[in-house]
Chain A
């Protein structure tokens, strides 16, 4: 039996049954959310394992066995096409969502309207899972909107605070604009090529790369850069993350900006406008899309993002805002990796960069989830996130401080922890490709080191009045944090094994040197 549909069915069922089950009481509602998200995690793990084992792209047609319609010879139905990259993201999404839901049990217990909260969290998870498994570009848009709308509402969930409403409105207005860019891009592509299946679209674009396809690409990349919080359009992120409940910030920062942003960029670039295909066309003298320009545009925004994001993190006095800017900075590294993967396509440097980007997506999801959990615990126990008021938390909250120390060390990239390997790959590949890019990346890390050292002084330092009565948070909040600490250390101890066995195959499958993404569809519909 194909497990793929269950990845969508389970959270969908969980979300839609929540209002009814929620009538049975608070405990039932909470256990139901935990069970559903745990079960989704198990399904994602199974799908990831089967794809990793067989090293083949998994396809699934909605409503029929083949996507081919009657009387036509091209796919007309929605297909889901999951390669290792998608499966890895699905695994990360379900893992972090599961921990965020467990964390919410303690963290959200003083809030009201929790039946809606758990419904929305499951819908958010559903939207992200849909994005990573779909092979249809309009279906991608629908899931992107599911994810975006759920996150608008969750950012403004505490609607009795001014900052929640303010950030929610800001996020919604500009987010809708970005979504409409993406929709416009998709509409242009459909108008030009008459298909919405990504792999088939790739064939069509290669046959006839018109100006319209270039404009569509620009609209898509522009919209998706917004969703990932790249620099000129990162302002929503630095407001949304501090205003949202911390469990949601962990999901927003760890997952939403990666799935809705950098994953989608990588998928559109490598799946639809494959650099290898277009370089091949160029070599033949046929019309093709200039992927180098695209790659350099991504590198440019990546470098800008990693400098501005990390530099802005240094001057923050609000803990969650600092973490939010640091997320912007880390997105810069991922974009830099993807950009080098495009311009150095088919070379060693490109492959290493792409591996580093994929690795950093997973690492940063885990680390940033931990850091936002820590921030949430501090806010929940002390009641402030202003770094100037907080000082000397270590004595009253030793486990939380330990989690912060590990998280901060990992995000800077200190060797025995997991952030090191992924950043190293990005530095190494950028140094191989163009040393100036490596210098920019290192400068970004120096800023990030400065930012986190400041918070470290806050946690250790002399005890302030405010924290004298603080205590450790309850178990449901502590356990996800400590679990993530263990994961970070374990991943840090086996960096090159993970890289060799998981991340490298993922990057190879994403890069698809032989057009695997397209070939998988052709094989599936029984073509050549």
Chain B
């Protein structure tokens, strides 16, 4: 019975997130267009794009192998699995002790499957894109993991039942610790996470692997038709999941307790409120960032991560750790 509820819940969340994440893509395009004094596409444009791609003929390159056709499906499967571990206004559907590792793993796995698909296509453009993707993957995950683990470790000290689960973010949050050092540390980590989010969804500075004008869409160079539609959908889901993580860490407050709703209604209200918060975070980290910054070179981006963002993450981690380790009384 429990398995059944979980399955139904996951399907529901999947349908909802597919809808809102594609909706956000439309909103994002509209907003960026307005920032550049254009009218922009209609709000539902990503849905039309998706349907059109799905109905087109899929061209499979002569030099490709089986993984070329399998990886879009694997990528979508991994994204759907990721949704089961994503905090969406309430704890993840499959919340357990230590599920944060699964979350990070699935997030990296989606990128890695894209790489496998790109390498399998037999196109040199895709190969270059894939190499860039791996380089970016290796650089961006370290500061994020450090920040995430230190936050969850700090919260685990506040007496939670499932340590290192993303569910704990809804039981305690880092702002309620309240000492000046932790607040400064959390703000530093917030900046780290905003940068991480921008590179995870590859916009602005970090639009390096895809780089339309430079390496012709990079990993996606050879994809067309249905396969491209599946990849686009899975990136949208990943976008939403990554932004959900940032929202859950830094802005976990729900509306339901203030409105005095409980049960299913509370979950619904929290989910919608969470979606609004995700849109806000994505507006800053995606739309604004995309509109006002250009692409960096891959060496510059790697340099930025290892020499600026990782040290910032270390500083944030130390500030968060200081009062519990009792270094200063």
Give the B-binding residues of A (Cβ under 8 A).
Answer: 392, 394-395, 398, 401, 414-415, 453, 456-457, 460-463
Interface residues of A, dominant DSSP: helix
19 extra interchain contacts, Cβ-Cβ under 8 A, other than A460-B119, A463-B122? A392-B63, A392-B65, A394-B66, A394-B67, A394-B120, A395-B64, A395-B65, A401-B65, A401-B67, A414-B109, A415-B105, A457-B119, A460-B65, A460-B67, A460-B116, A461-B122, A462-B63, A462-B127, A463-B63
Check A398–B66 contact: CB distance below 8 A. yes
23 A-B residue pairings within 8 Å (CB atoms): A392-B122, A394-B120, A395-B63, A395-B64, A395-B65, A395-B66, A398-B66, A401-B67, A414-B105, A414-B109, A415-B102, A415-B105, A453-B134, A456-B116, A456-B119, A457-B119, A460-B67, A460-B120, A462-B63, A462-B124, A462-B127, A463-B63, A463-B122
**Residues of B contacting A394 with CB < 8 Å?**
65-67, 120
User: How far apart are B70's CB and chain A's nearest CB, in angstroms?
Assistant: 10
Q: Mark B54-67, 1 if CB is under 8 A from A, else 0.
A: 00000000011111
Check B65–A398 contact: CB distance below 8 A. yes
Q: How far is the CA of A453 from the CA of B127 in the complex (A)?
A: 14
| Interface-central residue, A414, A453, A461, by most chain B CB under 10 Å | A461
Q: How far is the CA of A399 from the CA of B262 in the complex (A)?
A: 53
User: How far apart are B317's CB and chain A's nearest CB, in angstroms?
Assistant: 15
Check B105–A462 contact: CB distance below 8 A. no
Q: How far is the CA of A414 from the CA of B124 in the complex (A)?
A: 28
Chain B residue nearest to A420 in the complex (CB): B105
User: How far apart are B261's CB and chain A's nearest CB, in angstroms?
Assistant: 37
Within 8 A of A (CB), among B46-79: 63-67
Give the A-binding residues of B (Cβ under 8 A).
Answer: 63-67, 102, 105, 109, 116, 119-120, 122, 124, 127, 134
**Residues of B contacting A395 with CB < 8 Å?**
63-66
Check B119–A461 contact: CB distance below 8 A. yes
**Residues of B contacting A401 with CB < 8 Å?**
65, 67
Chain A residue nearest to B131 in the complex (CB): A457
Q: How far is the CA of A463 from the CA of B120 in the complex (A)?
A: 10
Chain B residue nearest to A424 in the complex (CB): B101
Compute the total of residue contacts between A and B using a CB distance below 8 Å.
37
**Residues of B contacting A392 with CB < 8 Å?**
63, 65, 122
Q: How far is the CA of A461 from the CA of B66 in the complex (A)?
A: 12
User: How far apart are A164's CB and chain B's nearest CB, in angstroms?
Assistant: 33
| Interface-central residue, B63, B120, B127, by most chain A CB under 10 Å | B120
**Residues of B contacting A461 with CB < 8 Å?**
119, 122, 127
**Residues of A contacting B119 with CB < 8 Å?**
456-457, 460-461
Chain B residue nearest to A398 in the complex (CB): B66
**Residues of A contacting B67 with CB < 8 Å?**
394, 401, 460
Q: How far is the CA of A414 from the CA of B116 in the complex (A)?
A: 15
User: How far apart are A348's CB and chain B's nearest CB, in angstroms?
Assistant: 17
**Residues of A contacting B120 with CB < 8 Å?**
394, 460
Chain B residue nearest to A462 in the complex (CB): B122
Q: How far is the CA of A414 from the CA of B112 in the complex (A)?
A: 12
| Interface-central residue, B65, B67, B119, B122, by most chain A CB under 10 Å | B65
User: How far apart are A446's CB and chain B's nearest CB, in angstroms?
Assistant: 9
User: How far apart are B94's CB and chain A's nearest CB, in angstroms?
Assistant: 13
User: How far apart are B95's CB and chain A's nearest CB, in angstroms?
Assistant: 17
Q: How far is the CA of A63 from the CA of B122 in the complex (A)?
A: 66
**Residues of B contacting A453 with CB < 8 Å?**
134
Q: How far is the CA of A460 from the CA of B61 in the complex (A)?
A: 14
**Residues of A contacting B116 with CB < 8 Å?**
456, 460
**Residues of A contacting B65 with CB < 8 Å?**
392, 394-395, 398, 401, 460
**Residues of B contacting A414 with CB < 8 Å?**
105, 109
Among all A-B residue pairs, the 5 with the closest Cβ atoms: A394-B65, A395-B65, A460-B119, A460-B120, A462-B122
Chain A residue nearest to B64 in the complex (CB): A395
Q: How far is the CA of A401 from the CA of B65 in the complex (A)?
A: 10
Chain A residue nearest to B65 in the complex (CB): A394
User: How far apart are B93's CB and chain A's nearest CB, in angstroms?
Assistant: 18
**Residues of A contacting B64 with CB < 8 Å?**
395
